[in-house]
Amino acid sequence: MVSSGNSSSGAKHSSGDSSSSSIFTSKTPILGLKLYVIIAATVAITVAVFLLIFLFLRSQRKKRRRISSLGRGSSGLLPLVFKEIDRVNESDRVGNGAGGAKTEKESKPILSKDVEIESNFRKKGSSESNDSSTSKSESSSAVTASTTTSTSGEGMNIGWGRWYSLKELETATDGFAVENVIGEGGYGIVYRGVLPDGSEVAVKNLLNKKGQAEKEFKVEVEAIGKVRHKNLVGLMGYCAEGPQRMLVYEYVDNGNLEQWLHGDVGPVSPLTWDIRMKIAIGTAKGLAYLHEGLEPKVVHRDVKSSNILLDRKWNAKVSDFGLAKLLGPEKSYVTTRVMGTFGYVSPDYASTGMLNEGSDVYSFGVLLMEIITGRSPVDYSRPPAEMNLVDWFKGMVGNRRGEELLDPLIEVPPPSRALKRVLLVCLRCIDLDVNKRPKMGQIVHMLEAEEFPFRAEPRPTQETTSLHPYTVGSSRFQQASKDATVGDEDHISRRR
């Protein structure tokens, strides 16, 4: 009896299992699919729908966050114009066609003072290091957003210079015509342009080689975007539309120093000794302002004759800040990849990669030699002993043949004393010990002085210890000696 009861209960369980499994495997009216297939498809569709909703909400959140960060301000290098545009009065807008001429106050340069700083530089931050991909994307998005917004307010000047549209610059340069090209190099092409108000500008179209255009665009805007000095080429504005990066400068209409030194100027150079010294002093003043008048200081890193532009009155203007580096007050140098022009780069920077203002001083010394001699820093057409300008220059001065260094195209040679003074400045600028090179401000005083540039360190006076404690008498004697020495020096200088 017991066994028959157990067998009956087992039969019931087996029949229940078979009936439940038959339910899942039974066909349904929906396309004849089995029930478990329908259940699995429903679960999969539900999960997919929830996943799509999650991804959509996440993308919307990121988009709102990015827009809000742009509204607050850019972490890149260019100023955003959203808040600035709201503050610009309608009187600041001048709607002369597409160009939109500047106001009279903006278009006239300030000539009563040497320098005009519109506002302090931003703190250097991460500008000395290589940008990460995140900061690059932020800066490029900031540029695009700023440019798009600025099209509604053409003709506005927003501190860092004016935003120009690509169409404006195409019109100004006649569609970037070949006949308007005034300069060309590895950085890009420079065109002469005429704005609707009749003012001339120089438009540099940066070549985008491996992101070089974006990098140079960033460096130049940050280095000189807010700087005004009569010996620095002024940045008037810029254009950033899509991949295009252009910089708009004031137009300097008399070529560059390299053209006047090494071009075909005839048997007599128009660059007299006085004009050459004016150019040298102007260049030194521009570099001195970059090194000593700004915070953070700017190291140009590419001082050479082709980067010294000249106006009709032979005033020098330092240009091309594409390789410039910012150097904060807490740093005496910055380590960077060696860049510059062969023949002008200082040996210490070339060997160590440690850059500071002393590198510009060395380059200026080579430039000054070039101004005096009319020779290029490296000239392979000359005899081997004269190929390198620095080595040849040192040898000639060491052999007391300094007067033979003068450019033969100079019709009237300078006084011997003036020539020796400038030769001495050259030698001090190219000192192999970077710490012994003078500052650019000191070089300006040396070139403007009428006497020899004496050593910066005063000659130590010999102190003799007195055998007796005649302190008061000895101090009076020393003062009298000093007075007598000054008198003798005045007498000697009058005899000279």
User: How many whole angstroms separate alpha carbon 333 and alpha carbon 342?
Assistant: 21
Q: Which residues pair with 317 in a beta bridge?
A: 309
Question: Among all chains, which residue has been given the structure tokens 């040996």?
Answer: 347
Nearest CA-CA partner of 316 in 248, 367, 246, 363? 367
- Given the residues 131, 253, 302, 407, select the one marked as catalytic: 302
**AA letter at 477:** F
* 307 marked as part of a ligand binding site: yes
CB-CB neighbours of 123 under 10 Å:
10
User: Where are the alpha helices (H) located in 225-272, listed in sequence order?
Assistant: 257-262
**CA dist 193 to 150, 199, 251, Å?**
21, 8, 9
Do 284 and 448 form a contact (C-beta atoms < 8 A)? no
Q: Which tokens hold the place of 325? A: 């580096």
302 is catalytic: yes
Does 435 carry a binding-site annotation?
A: no
How many other C-beta atoms can be found within 10 angstroms of the C-beta atom of residue 229?
22
Q: Is 278 annotated as a binding residue?
A: no
Count CB atoms within 10 A of the CB of residue 55. Answer: 10
For the record, the structure tokens of 192 come out as 């002469």
Query: Phi and psi dihedrals of 157, rounded to 5?
Result: -110, 120
Q: Which residues are annotated as a binding site?
A: 204, 307, 320
Which residues are designated catalytic? 302
Q: Which residues are annotated as a binding site for ATP?
A: 204
Q: Which residues are annotated as a binding site for Mg(2+)?
A: 307, 320
